[in-house]
Amino acid sequence: MPDKKLSIAAIPGDGVGHDVVPVAAEVVRAAAGACGVQVEVTPYNYGVLRYLEEGKPLPEDVPGLVRELAAKHDAIMFGSAGLDSRQPPAVNCRDLLVGLRWVLDGYVNLRPAPLLHPSFCPLEKKVPIDLVVVRENTEGVMTRLGGNFKKGTPDEVAIQEDINTYKGVERICRYAFEYARGHGYPKVTMADKHGSLIHAHGLWQRVFWAAAEKYPDVQGEHKFIDTLCLELVQHPDKFGVIVTNNMYGDILSDLCAGLVGGVGIAGSGCI
Q: What is the pLDDT of residue 3?
A: 67
Contact criterion met (CB below 8 Å) for 239 and 123: no
Sheet containing 37-43: give its strands across.
37-43, 4-13, 75-80
Contact criterion met (CB below 8 Å) for 260 and 99: no
Q: What is the pLDDT of residue 182?
A: 98
Contact criterion met (CB below 8 Å) for 48 and 15: yes
DSSP 118-162: GGG--SSS----EEEEEEE-SSBGGG--EEEESTTSTT-EEEE--
Q: What is the pLDDT of residue 265?
A: 87
The pTM score is 0.90
Q: What is the pLDDT of residue 97?
A: 86
Q: What is the pLDDT of residue 85?
A: 83
Which segments of the chain have a pLDDT < 70? 1-3
Q: What is the pLDDT of residue 87?
A: 81
For the chain, which residues make up each domain, given as ranges? 1-104, 106-271
pLDDT tens digit sequence for 160-201: 999 999 999 999 999 999 999 999 999 999 999 999 999 999
Q: What is the pLDDT of residue 132?
A: 99
Q: What is the pLDDT of residue 86?
A: 87
- Tell the CATH topology of 106-271: Isopropylmalate Dehydrogenase (3.40.718)
Q: Does domain 1-104 have CATH number 2.60.120?
A: no
